[in-house]
Structures are given as C-alpha cells and as structure tokens.
Structure 1
Amino acid sequence: MRVLHFSKTYHPDSFGGIEQVIRQLCVGTGRLGVTNSVLALSRQQNLAPLEFEGHMVHRVPLNFEIASNAVSVQAFGALARLAREADVVHYHFPWPFMDVAHFMARIRKPSVVTYHSDIVRQRHLLRLYQPLKHRFLGSVDSIVASSPNYMASSPVLGRYRDKTRIIPYGLDKATYAKPEPERLAHWRARIGPRFFLFVGVLRYYKGLHILLEAAAGTDYPIVIVGAGPTEQELKEQAARLGLKNVMFVGALDEQDKAALLTLCYAVSFPSHLRSEAFGMSLLEGAMYGKPMISSEIGTGTTYVNVDGKTGLVVPPSDPVALRAALRTLWDNPELARAMGRRAEERFEELFTAEAMARNYTDLYRELVARKAPLTVGAEAPVQL
C-alpha cells in the first residue's frame, strides 16, 4: 500500500500541528505496512528528495503566496507523477491551491482529505473560493474530521456527512526526545519548580494576547515556547503590561520542548478562534499528564480537554475567566494532579498514534478495495 500525502508545508521547512499529524501518520501507518511519501512546497534552494523517519519527502519551489495561499507551478507535474506511483492520495485541507492542483493533475486514484480546519479569516476571498472548494470536497472519496465536536460545528462538513468519518489525531510519546537530566536541571533552575506552559506557533488565533492580559496582576510563571508572526506585538504588549512573570523563550529544539513539557505544572492553550481545530500542543500536554486550560470554541480543543475532568475550559477572549482558571489550578495542586492523571488516561484511551494509524490504514484499504475492478466472474473486489 503506497500513500502520497500532499500538504502546503512539511519537514524540514516547518513543523507545526499539521506537519506533526502527517509525521505521526507516516510513522504509524509505516509500521502497518504502508509506504508513505509527502509532497510539499518549500522556499529552500536544495530540493532534492530526502528520507525522514522512514518516509520520503519531495519538495517543489514555492513560487508566490496570495492571502497565505502558497502556489507552485511545479506542483502540478510533481503531483501527477507521484500520484501515478501511489495507491491513495491523501490531501490536507485547507489549502485552495491544493484543490486546483488536484484537478490540474487529473488525479484518478482513491483520495482522502483530512479536514484540519474551516477557513476562518479570509471571508471575502472565501466567497470566491466556495465553488472550487465544494467541487473539490465533492470529488474526493472520503473526508476525515479530527473530532466529533468539529464535525458537529462545521457547516462545511455538514454538507458531506455521508462520506465523512471521525479519526482523532494521535501522538506517540516514543517519537519525542527524552530530555537529559542536565537539560531538566537547566530549565528548573531558570524558571522554578512550577509554571504554566504554552507551546505553538505565535499566530493570530492562538489567543496569546488574552493570556498576557490574564497574567497581569499575577505572579504565576508563564513560559511561551514558539516563534511566529505575532511575536513582536506580543512582546510589546507584555512590556506595556509590565509582565515580569512571562518568559518568551522562542522556538526550541525537541530536547528543550520535551524538557518543558516534562517539568511544567499545567498547559495553558488560550486559542480563541475556530482556526484552532484541535490543538496538537494541547494533546501533548495530555500525553505528558498535565492539567490543561483551554477555551470553548466549538472545536476539538474541548474534545481533548474536558472541563472539570482533564482541566478547565473558559469562554474565548475572556481574560478574567482565564485568570480565574490559572488561579484555580495554581491554588489547588491536588486538583491539578488529579486532572493531569485523567488527561493522560483519556490520551491513552482516545489519542494514541497507534489508534490513528490503524484507523487510517483501514480507511486506505477500504478506498482501494472500493475502486478496485472486479475480476471476471468474481463477486468481490480483488484482494490487496
């Protein structure tokens, strides 16, 4: 079974939430006999194919962007060529250029779309994109939503309910770095024994401006890991608020990230818009057995973090409620520990990479079998 993933970005150019999902999919399904490859766009000069954790990564030049929509003329030919060698083409939505490439490359192989998120921000351009979007989603064989919450709240997915199934994202802790004692000691000495942690790309929908407002007037240490488009304005906001308890540590390597996930008291994930469809960093917190704070935005964040069980859920864009949640966990260590234990239990029950890989592998096989031609005189599809 050969699967081609088509995504806007991937390792080594970037490694955000969608890239982590693709990585876990490739590694996990690879253990079940699937041969994976990834086609992505890149700004780098040397675009020779490379192997990453057992799967091949093919990159084509990113020629230009329109409203965050990356475009590559070379992708048309690359997608057509690589799809000929694949049994299934796996698309990662949203990315309007991908829809165009699907039709330009004349893809006829079984196809699946992982629906990572609705398009939230570019509302005016979205009106122009609607016909293409629905033509694309109507043409693929299957759509996957990452949580029942998102399935229920997305008007787009509601139109394709008959061919949409739910497969939650999953992680494998064995793929994460094991921090050395010296590194743990370094961060413990730098930050202290208890702190709230945020990990992620610093984007407009992450709600970090709300977290900074919530931190005002408190002395709870808050560590922000990541870089991104809003980094400078967030630092300026922290300076205006006089926040001495907030530490921006930038983008870190996997050892340092794992060290902070190991050491942190709780995870704060204040994303306030539907662009945050699931929250892989929130899932990492659950995997490490940490209590979580998130906002109710009608997406998978509340599927990962169940209010009162694995953590606390507050209204979006409400710094007062977020400050109260920080205070509740900080002042009640026993409650925080109990929530962390339940978060890890829920992770093991629902969100392992093994379960995600098994469910996707079953879907791949189902799609191939569905499109396989019948043998003369046979009553069933040809076996794979």
Structure 2
Amino acid sequence: MIKVLHFFKTYYPETMGGIEQVIFQIAQGGAEHGFSSEVLYLSERGAARNETVGNHLTHRSRLDMHVASTGFSLSAFKDFSQLAKQADVVHYHFPWPYMDLVHFATRHGKPSVLSYHSDIVKQKTLLKLYQPLMNRFLSSVDCIVASSPNYAQSSPVLSRFRDKVEIIPYGLDRATYPVVPEARLDFWRSRVGSKFFLFVGALRYYKGLDYLLDAAKISGLPVVILGGGHQESELKEQAARLGLANVHFLGGLGDEDKAALLTLCYAFVFPSHLRSESFGISLLEAAMYGKPLISCEIGSGTTFINIAGETGLVVPPRDSGALASAMLTLSNAPERAQAFGENAQRRYSEVFSAQSMVSAYAAIYRRLLRKP
C-alpha cells in the first residue's frame, strides 16, 4: 500500500471549502486503488496527531500567525519532516507560500505531486516578491496537476511548466453525501419554498455575490445563499439597502441541510467573477444533483463544468443584468431548465466522478514510484 502525505493550510472538520473536499475525496477513495492518505494542516486549536476523519488520519500543527492570508507555523517544519519520512509520496495543495518554505527546509527527498488549485490573484504586490520562490518550488516538484484544461491553458503560471502539467478533473462521490429525511425536506420547503435559486460557498471577495444581490433585485426571483465568510455582514447590509425580501442568508449549515437545499432548489447560480475561482466544487455538487447551472465565463474550470447551452447558461462576469436575465430565462422555461439539469448530471457521471479522480492520482503515484 502506497503511503501519501497531503499538506495544506486547512482541513476538515475546521474548514469545509472546495480544496478540503477534494483532499477528502482522494483520501477516502485511496484504499480501493492501492494507497492510503494522511493529511497535515495548521490549526488554531493547536497540535494533535492521529485524528480520524472518514477513513483516514489527520495531523494538526499549531497555527502561529497569518501574513497576507498565509498561515505560518514554526512546529509544522518538524511535524512535516517526521511525517514525510514515513510517506512514499508527498502531495502538496497550491497555493500556500508557507508550504514552499517547508518543502525546501525539510529536503524530504520523496516523490512529490502538486495539485494546482488556483493562480494567486489578489495579492499582486506580494506575488512579485513570492514569484522567485514559487517558480523554484514548481520546478522542483515531480508532477503538477490542474483540474481542467481551461485553467491549464489560461494560467500564465502553468504555461511555464507545460511539460509536467497533467489534467485530472475534481471528482465527487454521491455516496458520501447524506440521504435527507423527508421531514428535513419539508422543513426547508416551509422556510424557502421550492422554486429558488441556490448559491453554496464561502462568502469571499471573488464569489461575485454583490452582483447576485443586484440580479435578485432586478429579477425579483428568490435566492438562497448558503455559507458564511468575511463578506457576510457587508452583503447583508447591501441586501437591506436594496430591500431584498426575496434573498435568504442561511449562514453555514451541515451536510444534511446542504444536501436538502441542493435537492430542493430549482437551479444553481454561481456568480464568481475572478480566477481565484479555479473550479467551483459547489457548482459540481449542483450538477451531481441534476440542477441547471448559471455561471460566469472567467477562463477557469467553471466553464468546464457548465457547458453553455448544454448544462446551463454562462454569462459575462460582473454583469448583474446578464445574471438576472439568465435566472429569468430558466425560471420561465421549466422544460429547458430540466433538460439542462439532466445534462449536467450526465456530465458529472461521465467526467467528474470521484472514482475517476482517485484512479488518475493513483496512477501518478505508482508512476513516480515506478510501481506497476
């Protein structure tokens, strides 16, 4: 059994973002493909070893500070070094500049895979300082994996490493999602109705939710926003200013409630407008649940999931009017919306299954170790 060590700044159960979901799916599915996974991450709760998440082990290093959204830990150098010695392959999850430092400081010498989840978009000034280290780090790993051909082709960083870039789409396993009791579905029907547009995700600067609120004002259609984050109070203030009685902010909820809302929603709207959104796991979740999709064309994996005119509608970024028009189009054409949803679910099954993703990573691990 190949032993894989994943290294990322956060993980379950403390944070439940898209990258964490990808790591979880890889780790969960590994046993069937000849590898086991452990995950090392930073935590404000302090250090801990050998905690169990799903069927795999996790380890925490104490988070000491944040600098420009980057977590740092003094103890993680030692923790990583010890765990890497026990692993056959180290699997990095980019971007996280601190990880580059740990990689070079520990000199672990193990084969390394790097999942390239996103370009660095916001910290442009700091990127200039970080770029030499980043380029050295990306040059030093054995294999770089992008989640879509769209992102690999449009990323100025990945274009410099084409010879080592491979494409493995993110994958999800529907069996890991809870079956929702009818009583819970009834609860949410009574709260939000059944013909609403759903957004799921962290409330971050690149999610385009201010444009979604404007679109809700223009269209008058019901919108449910599931997730918390730094922009929550700002967005609620905007909704109050616009007088939006048709928008529900639910905050962060558990997996069962998320599954209930994905089951009930009429369509899924994903207004991310910057390339920080490299893929869109919640967009893929909606496809898995057979929902018609609305997303923006930002040259990333969102348009690899949502094919315009086939699985849903794709609009220009930062365009509330176009977003509202797409919502109204789906609302007024239920048969077309249903067909989009069926196509989205079929595309999920054919391209984005967790089984396919895990199998592809297992093949890379074996190749790096020269195992059949």
TM-score > 0.5 by shorter chain: yes
Report the AA paired with residue 18 of structure 2. G
Query: Aligned runs of 1:234-383 on 2, under 5 Å?
Result: 234-369=235-370, 383=371
Contact map agreement 2:113 2:141 (CA 8 A) in 1: yes
- Paired with 1:164 and 1:48, the residues of 2 have a C-alpha distance of 33
Indicate whether 1:28 and 2:29 are aligned: yes
Contact map agreement 2:218 2:321 (CA 8 A) in 1: no
- Paired with 2:326 and 2:194, the residues of 1 have a C-alpha distance of 19
Report the AA paired with residue 311 of structure 1. G
TM-aligned CA deviation for residue 160 of structure 1:
0.5
TM-aligned CA deviation for residue 31 of structure 1:
2.4
Residue of structure 2 equivalent to 1:66:
67
TM-aligned CA deviation for residue 217 of structure 1:
3.5
- Paired with 1:107 and 1:279, the residues of 2 have a C-alpha distance of 32
Report the AA paired with residue 315 of structure 1. P
Please report the RMSD computed on the Cα atoms of aligned residues, expressed in angstroms.
Answer: 0.9
Report the AA paired with residue 262 of structure 1. T
* TM norm structure 2: 0.98
TM-aligned CA deviation for residue 18 of structure 1:
0.4
- Paired with 1:240 and 1:40, the residues of 2 have a C-alpha distance of 40
Contact map agreement 2:218 2:324 (CA 8 A) in 1: no
Residue of structure 2 equivalent to 1:212:
213
Contact map agreement 2:47 2:59 (CA 8 A) in 1: no
Report the AA paired with residue 212 of structure 1. L
Residue of structure 2 equivalent to 1:139:
140
- Paired with 2:261 and 2:63, the residues of 1 have a C-alpha distance of 34
TM-aligned CA deviation for residue 173 of structure 1:
0.4
Report the AA paired with residue 349 of structure 2. E
Query: Aligned runs of 1:195-206 on 2, under 5 Å?
Result: 195-206=196-207
Residue of structure 2 equivalent to 1:190:
191
Q: SS in structure 1 opposite 2:269?
A: strand
Contact map agreement 2:46 2:61 (CA 8 A) in 1: no
Q: SS in structure 2 opposite 1:49?
A: strand
Mind listing any 5+ residue stretches in structure 2 that lack a counterpart? none
CA deviation vs aligned residue, 1:170-201 (integer Å, no higher than 9, x gap): 00000001111100000011111210000001
CA deviation vs aligned residue, 1:143-179 (integer Å, no higher than 9, x gap): 0000000000001000100001000000000000111
- Paired with 2:224 and 2:45, the residues of 1 have a C-alpha distance of 31
- Paired with 1:190 and 1:138, the residues of 2 have a C-alpha distance of 52
Aligned residues: 371
Runs of 4+ in 1 over 6 A off after TM superposition: none
Indicate whether 1:114 and 2:122 are aligned: no
Q: Which moved more, 1:160-169 or 1:210-219?
A: 210-219
- Paired with 1:45 and 1:95, the residues of 2 have a C-alpha distance of 19
Identity %: 58
Report the AA paired with residue 276 of structure 1. E
Indicate whether 1:13 and 2:14 are aligned: yes
Report the AA paired with residue 353 of structure 1. A
Query: Aligned runs of 1:142-161 on 2, under 5 Å?
Result: 142-161=143-162
Contact map agreement 1:146 1:169 (CA 8 A) in 2: yes
TM-aligned CA deviation for residue 46 of structure 1:
6.2
* TM norm structure 1: 0.95
Indicate whether 1:101 and 2:67 are aligned: no
- Paired with 1:45 and 1:7, the residues of 2 have a C-alpha distance of 15
Report the AA paired with residue 176 of structure 1. Y
Contact map agreement 1:29 1:360 (CA 8 A) in 2: no
- Paired with 1:334 and 1:12, the residues of 2 have a C-alpha distance of 39
Query: Aligned runs of 1:78-89 on 2, under 5 Å?
Result: 78-89=79-90
Residue of structure 2 equivalent to 1:50:
51
Residue of structure 2 equivalent to 1:372:
none
Q: SS in structure 2 opposite 1:12?
A: coil
Contact map agreement 1:41 1:60 (CA 8 A) in 2: yes
TM-aligned CA deviation for residue 267 of structure 1:
0.3
Residue of structure 2 equivalent to 1:178:
179
CA deviation vs aligned residue, 1:80-101 (integer Å, no higher than 9, x gap): 1101111100000000000000
TM-aligned CA deviation for residue 48 of structure 1:
3.9
TM-aligned CA deviation for residue 32 of structure 1:
1.7
- Paired with 1:31 and 1:249, the residues of 2 have a C-alpha distance of 37
Q: SS in structure 2 opposite 1:252?
A: coil
Q: SS in structure 2 opposite 1:216?
A: helix
Contact map agreement 2:196 2:267 (CA 8 A) in 1: yes
Report the AA paired with residue 61 of structure 2. V
Q: SS in structure 1 opposite 2:253?
A: coil
TM-aligned CA deviation for residue 35 of structure 1:
1.1
